[in-house]
Structure 1
Amino acid sequence: MKQILLGTAVLAFSAGMALAQDVVRMGTEGAYPPYNFINDAGEVDGFERDLGDELCARAELTCEWVTNEWDSIIPNLVSGNYDTIIAGMSINDEREEVIDFTQDYIPPATSSYVALSEDAPLDGVVAAQTSTLQSGYISESGATLLEFATADEIVAALRNGEADAVFFDTDYLTPIVEESAGELIFVGEPVVLGRGTGMGIRESDTELKDTFDAAITSMKEDGSLNELLVKWFGEGTDIYE
């Protein structure tokens, strides 16, 4: 298993870290399992629900969950519809021009191609979700990019023949491939994109960023973040050490 090294610095919590706001609104997509999804009870569920609830508990914050479509998730954070983005969002330079990020709570992950056959042309039509690192990568790869608003739609486009392949987060695609009974297969080589996954925070909310950074650090250092990563992504996932 690939290990990601973690520094030994300790950030301690204190009563002085409490924020003035009564409720912190946690913005997520709700359509990106196992990161986040809507369960049968109509509630936000998944790795980021577990993580976010634990971070809020450690920071002694009252948090509520808000869902928003992916393609407008950053503008609606900036405009104040919620206070964080916790939605499988990779940290990159382009996004950091608009918002701040906490430290990563998922190490840099791989993205993969999935197709219906081993000889699918990866320089042909490749489907990816709009406004993602994967869509940016495909647009510069020489392939023809076919964008959709949700991850479900890119897989549907592959199955109905609109795309030769899809390119997306490996952790999202793995259970879909496994459950397809051989219909879908991984092709080509995985690609590492971004600098890990973090919480998006408005640039003005420095105290909130510092509070969540401290909570994430505490979970890394006591091993509880690794436990959540293995719970939701399996024994082979990258962890912190």
Structure 2
Amino acid sequence: MKKLILTTAVLALAAGTAWAQQTVRMGTEGAYPPYNFIDNATGEVAGFERELGDELCKRAELTCTWVQNEWDSIIPNLQSGNYDTIMAGMSITDERKEVIDFTQNYYPPTASAYAAITADADIKGGVVAAQIGTIQASHVAESGATLLEFATGDEAVAAVRNGEADAVFADKDFLVPFVTESNGEFSFIGDDIPLGGGIGMGVRKSDTEMKAKFDAAIQSMKDDGTLNTLLKKWFGEETLTF
């Protein structure tokens, strides 16, 4: 799960009423499979969060559309009113909660991990790639390694392939496909590192009624088991569940 670290201050707008609009606009990155990505055949947002978000909107009796936005400006553009929620693999953190609010989590806290081409890659004193503005990037910066930041997770992985970085540090769920499909080129190194407090839907602090609607919808999916079913569908039978 991606964990955004705010690098610039953002200002909250006056009280919003997104929950009362005819359509609630769901903001996502569209570049972080399996959480969210763009289906090449349809050009539409797809993935775990698209399927989950559509079901939550149905249960909350809200009409929703999806808006794609780059990760590094995803919170400022929520604040600016370009969309009404964030569903983008965003972990709930105290720092973010100073700026926006969150629903209850719809994915439990999971681990981040290092992946590299060589088993002896230096993850403490070498160069480690991470996606810009994430909690993983902050962790690398504090670890003693040299942080090399990229706009997307894919670019951070590519930096290891082309020799720019010794390793990449990201959500383990994001890295698993790269490792398993690399035919032995990539492997996980070191121990998994738990970061963040689970993934939730980001909303403006003023949109309390909309938040309550989505909170209730998430809880209903936890209660009837459908959220666990979706988690296993997109992340495998061994994934963490509620």
So what's the TM-score if we normalise by structure 1?
0.91
Kindly indicate which of the two structures has a greater share of residues assigned to strand.
1
> Is contact 1:51-1:228 (8 Å) kept?
yes
2: CA distance between counterparts of 1:19 and 1:209?
Answer: 8
1:24 is displaced (CA, Å) by 0.1
C-alpha distance after superposition, 1:153-184 (max 9, x if no partner): 00110100000000000011001110000000
1: CA distance between counterparts of 2:171 and 2:19?
Answer: 34
Unmatched 5+ residue regions in structure 2? 1-17
Q: What is residue 109 of structure 1 aligned with on the other side?
A: 110
Where 1:197 maps in the other structure, the secondary structure is coil
Of residues 121, 131, 136 in structure 1, which corresponds to 2:138? Answer: 136
Q: Which one is further off, 180-189 or 19-28?
A: 19-28
Q: What is residue 171 of structure 1 aligned with on the other side?
A: 173
1:133 is displaced (CA, Å) by 1.0
Q: Give, as a single letter, the amino acid of the residue that structure 1 aligns with 2:80.
A: S
2: CA distance between counterparts of 1:19 and 1:167?
Answer: 36
Aligned residues: 223
Q: What is residue 10 of structure 2 aligned with on the other side?
A: none
Where 2:165 maps in the other structure, the secondary structure is coil
Unmatched 5+ residue regions in structure 1? 1-17
Summarize the alignment of residues 148-163 of structure 1 with structure 2, pairs less than 5 Å apart.
148-163=150-165
1: CA distance between counterparts of 2:19 and 2:154?
Answer: 37
Q: What is residue 29 of structure 2 aligned with on the other side?
A: 29
1:19 is displaced (CA, Å) by 4.3
> Is contact 1:31-1:37 (8 Å) kept?
yes
> Is contact 1:90-1:133 (8 Å) kept?
no
2: CA distance between counterparts of 1:42 and 1:138?
Answer: 34
Q: What is residue 187 of structure 2 aligned with on the other side?
A: 185
C-alpha distance after superposition, 1:49-83 (max 9, x if no partner): 00000000001100000000000000000000000
> Is contact 2:111-2:195 (8 Å) kept?
yes
Where 1:189 maps in the other structure, the secondary structure is strand
Q: What is residue 98 of structure 1 aligned with on the other side?
A: 99
2: CA distance between counterparts of 1:200 and 1:80?
Answer: 13
Percent identity, aligned pairs only, is 70
Q: What is residue 241 of structure 2 aligned with on the other side?
A: 239
Of residues 214, 217, 221 in structure 1, which corresponds to 2:216? Answer: 214
Where 1:103 maps in the other structure, the secondary structure is coil
Q: What is residue 38 of structure 2 aligned with on the other side?
A: 38
2: CA distance between counterparts of 1:190 and 1:169?
Answer: 10
Where 1:182 maps in the other structure, the secondary structure is coil
> Is contact 2:19-2:207 (8 Å) kept?
no
Q: Give, as a single letter, the amino acid of the residue that structure 2 aligns with 1:43.
A: E
Where 2:119 maps in the other structure, the secondary structure is coil
Where 2:192 maps in the other structure, the secondary structure is strand
So what's the TM-score if we normalise by structure 2?
0.91
> Is contact 2:23-2:62 (8 Å) kept?
yes
Q: Give, as a single letter, the amino acid of the residue that structure 2 aligns with 1:82.
A: Y
C-alpha distance after superposition, 1:14-66 (max 9, x if no partner): xxxx9421100000000000000001211100000000000000011000000
Task: List 4+ stretches of structure 1 deviating above 2 A.
Answer: none
Q: What is residue 199 of structure 1 aligned with on the other side?
A: 201
2: CA distance between counterparts of 1:136 and 1:69?
Answer: 19
Summarize the alignment of residues 54-133 of structure 1 with structure 2, pairs less than 5 Å apart.
54-123=55-124, 124-133=126-135
